[in-house]
Structure 1
């Protein structure tokens, strides 16, 4: 038949057709070429690496290095201000130390049972970060004439931040405040006192506090002004009516606060006048009196401090802080004699020459956390 099918290729002796055998040999050839190329390329890469690189690549991974040590704390942030002075002595330090001194005297005037008297020797430790606008006094040591030596600490337990004494007792909040920043009592309440001007026995119905003329006088508690003006032997007198029938009086003033008039409502610790020596007076002082329903009583009882102990769970923390602050207080030297005390704006030649104003190093990071 002329248009028959094409003749098939004869198989090889191993059963493969010539076309299949050619494909296999072609694949094997390509594989061999690839192996040779890969080997040559690997040798070239190995030769391009230096000895150090090959050693590093073959070495075991290094152990994790320890973290770098934390940076040393700034010594300036750990230092406290330390100050010693005598109340009433001439001269006053400048800058932050002056604000620390004023703040400390105001704290002690309210904290001491009989106020702060001239001649008291005070040592104070304070945080410099809060000075000069709002110095944060941390510890106080006071030796007042006629009173036992006392120490007070600003402790943060129970969130009060009040001054705590050495036994861990804090004052119960008292709404009444001292009429002067510094209370220097010169004559107590005495129903049978010999009057220094009239020279006869006459009740002293208030408490006298010595102070320079012009010293601000504060309202001991909020109330309504019932009198402003001259008042006989009281001289320039301000009287304030409070709740529960109590009226306080402020006598011998040199002048009144600007614009103060009868019927005004005044706030606690608001300035109402200034110390003077008007009326029957032998020298500048404040005569502070109190009456209830017209009967006078000892005005100092309004300012008396009642104490309460810290909770048991806070006493260990208090003792730890107290120990650190005691060491700082003990390191403060005595105040400089008045003749050598630096005046306002004066600076010692070097910190070592001035034991009054040397900052002391903080003992631990715990005090740096104190707020």
Structure 2
């Protein structure tokens, strides 16, 4: 493991310094009688001796005493705080990270104290951590749970103080825009941004735009996004405050708005929720290799038969998401479908995801899943000629074409929050709609004041 140490207080050689200060004082005291005799020889007009009560001290004595006091104040006997920072490596556990300071029994006790805040068994490789010591004693431990939050453990008089704390970033808001020439990833990259922004943008409009089938050359996007940095280094994106996507001439807008309950969701300019009952597709980006058909030539069996789903081709291991909230009713494998999952969403709808390479960990029959949750990964199990997912949907027990499904949106902005929402939309729209006719070459980032 690669670690480095950073001292916050420089250690001094305390005993040596104190001895030197005391020698200086003893030397000064030994000179006092001679200085006093010399002053008396000068007569009454000379300055009073420093040894007399109320007399002014000479400059050397004052400077020496002041320096001594500063050194002694700095050398209080308190050991320096030492920070050990690093990244959790594969195979590391809380026992390996803190084993130099605590016995196994003490670590078990610490784990119990942390359980309600964050289970120490969930410490993962690749996450940053920091250990603070004072001398040979443990002082504190921090572990970055996610990009937004960290676990903080501090030694207390009795036991430990355990809490979750936000990770602090420097944040600025920027306007980012681009033009589609081939796909969304390429357009975001051309705008100088990371793939994360493409994924976030696709998630906002996932209920209205199929980013596999619908986007065209010349489509445009604009985003008002928070960009974060730590210690002067880029650290990803914060919130997306507003976004606009023009797809085949149709304008879609989304505005982030927090309800009175503290829940933040995206709504269109009229206050309707962007979220609908089902996502358009179970993959963020892929291509359709075979659509819904009552009669299709089967590439493996070599005969015509119904294809009651939509095939999305993607590299093996691509995450597959549930298109809606629901309960897993089937999680199994067979010769034809390979690894597959069926989810019941309500009394009317159910969806199936076939040919997975593997299931997401922790899932089983009866598990509840939420919309957008990863349930498995693209594969080539069963009767398949290449890695893909066959996505199927039933309504009232009958197979339907999911591409043509239209579902109503979720609940919109509450009436008592409409005025605040309208003000926010008016404020953000002015910036969002600037220069919407920009070409791909001119669609560059423009900084805007923090909101």
TM-score range, shorter chain: 0.5 to 0.7
Structure 1 or 2, whichever has the larger Rg, is 1
Partner of 1:5: none
Is 1:239 paired with 2:345?
A: no
- Residue 292 of structure 2 is aligned with which of 189, 212, 220? 189
Give the gaps of 5 or more residues in structure 1: 1-75, 335-354
Query: Which residue of 1 is the match for residue 276 of structure 2?
Result: 174
- Identify, as 1 or 2, the structure richer in strand: 2
Deviations 1:150-199 (A, max 9, x none): 3322346896863538xx69556423234222364333322233333334
Partners in 2 of 1:77 and 1:87 — Cα distance? 27
1:217 deviates by 0.8
Higher helix share: 1
- Cα distance in structure 1, aligned partners of 2:206 and 2:383: 27
Which residue number corresponds to residue 224 of structure 2? 127
Distance in 2, Cα, partners of 1:294 & 1:309: 30
Does the aligned pair in 1 maintain the 2:339–2:355 contact within 8 Å? yes
Equivalenced residue count is 262
Superposition deviation, residue 206 in structure 1: 1.3
Distance (Å, rounded) in 2 between the aligned partners of 1:361 and 1:92: 17
Query: What is the match of residue 164 of structure 1?
Result: 268
* Partner in structure 1 of residue 183 of structure 2: 87
For residue 258 of structure 1, report the CA deviation from its aligned partner: 2.0
User: How far apart are residue 317 of structure 1 and its match?
Assistant: 8.7
Alpha carbon RMSD of aligned pairs, Å? 4.1
* RCO comparison, higher one (Cα < 8 Å, 6+): 1
> Structure 2 length normalisation: TM-score?
0.47
Choose the corresponding residue for 2:252, options 142, 152, 164: 152
Alignment pair present for 1:217 and 2:320: yes
Equivalent residue number for residue 111 of structure 1: 208
- The residue correspondences of 1:343-358 to structure 2 (distance < 5 A) are 358=444
Distance 1:92 1:140, change over 3 A: closer
Report the Cα offset of residue 253 of structure 1: 0.8
Give 1:270's match in structure 2, choosing from 373, 392, 414: 373
Q: What's the offset of the Cα at 1:218?
A: 1.4
* Contact 1:253-1:286 at 8 Å conserved across structures: yes
Aligned equivalents of 1:158, 1:137: Cα separation in 2 = 11
Q: Output the CA distance in 2 between the equivalents of 1:308 and 1:300.
A: 23
Residue 102 (structure 1) shift: 1.8
Task: State the Cα distance separating 1:215 from its structure 2 match.
Answer: 1.0
Listed one character per residue, the Cα deviations across residues 344-366 of structure 1 (whole Å, up to 9, x for unaligned) are: xxxxxxxxxxx56x32254xx7x
The yes-or-no answer on 1:329 pairing with 2:436 is yes
Tell me if structure 2 keeps the 8 A contact 1:139–1:329: no
Structure 1 residues 156 and 91: CA distance shift in structure 2, 3 A: closer
Q: What is the SS of the residue equivalent to 2:268?
A: strand
1:5-20 paired onto structure 2 within 5 Å: none
**Paired residue secondary structure (1:186):** strand
Residues 125, 137 of structure 1: 8 Å contact kept: no
- Displacement after TM superposition at 1:104 (Å): 1.1
Q: Name the CA distance, whole Å, in 1 between partners of 2:184 and 2:302.
A: 30
